């Protein structure tokens, strides 16, 4: 067998197994998992072992204080970064229509659900 064929048939798959095992070995402690166990599984169970590790590992806890997009106390705008040149523009509502943020506290004269004429549904009971 020629050396190039041997490298391709043996060396490349072996290198991938080593890379998968090394990744699991280094990443497992970040998720509270046993690093040796998952590195061995990734190495000795080709490809399926690595995907089992990826799907089995626990997600990291979310910390809003570290999230740069979770600033502000308004729940409706938290999570949206607005460019400084766009701060004064009016927001868009559903289907690209302009949102009516200004009259949230006013008495709602028109029906939100656009009921047909003659149908009056009271919330009083």
Banded model confidence at residue 113, pLDDT cuts 50, 70, 90: low
Assess if residue 28 is contained within a domain.
yes
Assess if residue 30 is contained within a domain.
yes
Assess if residue 119 is contained within a domain.
no
Domains in the chain: how many in total? 1
Assess if residue 94 is contained within a domain.
no
Q: What pLDDT sits at residue 35? A: 92
Structural domain that includes position 40: 3-56
Assess if residue 72 is contained within a domain.
no
What string of H, E and C letters represents the secondary structure of 1-61?
Answer: CCHHHHHHHHHHHHHHHHHHHHHHHHHHHHHCCCHHHHHHHHHHCCCHHHHHHHHHCCCCC
Assess if residue 11 is contained within a domain.
yes
Nearest to 73 by CA among 84, 64, 82: 64
Assess if residue 79 is contained within a domain.
no
Question: Residue 92 forms beta bridges with which residues?
Answer: 98
Assess if residue 114 is contained within a domain.
no
Banded model confidence at residue 8, pLDDT cuts 50, 70, 90: confident
pLDDT tens digit string along 24-79?
A: 999 998 888 899 999 999 999 988 999 999 888 866 666 777 766 665 545 455 55
């Amino acid at each position: 067998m020629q050396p190039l064929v041997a490298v391709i048939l043996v060396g490349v798959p072996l290198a991938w197994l080593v890379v998968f095992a090394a990744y699991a070995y280094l990443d497992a402690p970040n998720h509270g998992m046993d690093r040796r166990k998952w590195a061995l599984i990734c190495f000795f169970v080709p490809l399926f072992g690595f995907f089992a590790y990826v799907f089995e590992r626990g997600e990291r806890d979310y910390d809003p204080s570290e999230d740069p997009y979770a600033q502000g106390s308004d729940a409706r705008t938290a999570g949206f970064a607005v460019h400084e040149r766009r701060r004064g523009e009016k927001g868009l509502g559903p289907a690209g229509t302009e949102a009516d943020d200004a009259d949230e506290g006013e008495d709602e004269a028109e029906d939100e659900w656009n009921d047909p004429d003659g149908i009056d549904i009271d919330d009083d009971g």
